[in-house]
Amino acid sequence: MESKILVIKIGGSILCPDLTDSFNVPFVIEFRDQILHPYIAKGYKFVITVGGGQLARKFQGRLKEFSISERYQSRVGIISTLMNAVCFQSVIPEIAHQRIIALDDYLQIFKFVNSKTFEKTHVLLSCGGYKAESSTDMDAVLLAMRIGVNRVISIKNIDGIYDLDPRVYPNARLIEEMDWEKYMQIINFANSHNPGDSWAIDPVASKEAMENNIDFVVVGRDLENLKKVLDGKKFIGSTVK
């Protein structure tokens, strides 16, 4: 399959940081102009998985208030990621595949993602749907495995993985590189993901990535910094491998 394929996970915290803006169209335009168009011109293709952000958390939180089961909390989260994916697609219709990989598509991923996927398109969008017990990190991992790519680039509202929560501890240290065992230690060897959880990389996806030799690069929303990742230059962020 195409060798110059980039698998990128864009966190919901970037695309839907709050409900007043609902969807961050300016960021997607910036991403299109600074990343997609220039790198497509260099021969790259993109698989972009999007998270749900505050759209998902708003609905999940409301259901949680009334003790609605996590099954339904997960469902509204998954559907929220689809909404963000459709909004993302609306900004790049001329370069995006018409189909968004979502919901039950993950159960038949070999059918929907194959050697012909990128023949006439440059960007394949995906969102939540593999299983309720994981986040869209897991969906990105599954797509990387299917395509044969050994790296997922995750764009978040924080510029990497810290040894402590930097929102609480001013002396928290950014860890530039670590193995999966070290990352598991940082998240206290968590092995599950609940609706609304926020991780640098969710524990379920982490286990799958570790078992399948897939690296995660976690960076912030600075696109000049992202270009350094894509160009193989020194960047600000964290690599887990």
pLDDT band at residue 24 using 50, 70 and 90 as cut-offs = very high
pLDDT at 3 over 70: no
**Domain over 5-240 is classified CATH 3.30.420.40:** no
Least confident of 98-102, 107-111, 131-135, 138-142: 131-135
pLDDT at 18 over 50: yes
Its pTM stands at 0.93
Query: Residue ranges per domain, the chain?
Result: 5-240
Query: What is the mean predicted confidence (pLDDT) over 42-51?
Result: 96
Q: Which residue has the higher pLDDT, 178 or 120?
A: 178
Closest by Cα among 238, 114, 111 to 177: 238
Closest by Cα among 240, 237, 234, 232 to 181: 240
Task: Summarize pLDDT for 183-240 with one digit per residue, the tens.
Answer: 999 998 888 877 767 789 999 999 999 999 999 999 999 999 999 999 999 999 999 9
Cα 236 to Cα 27: distance, rounded to the nearest angstrom: 19
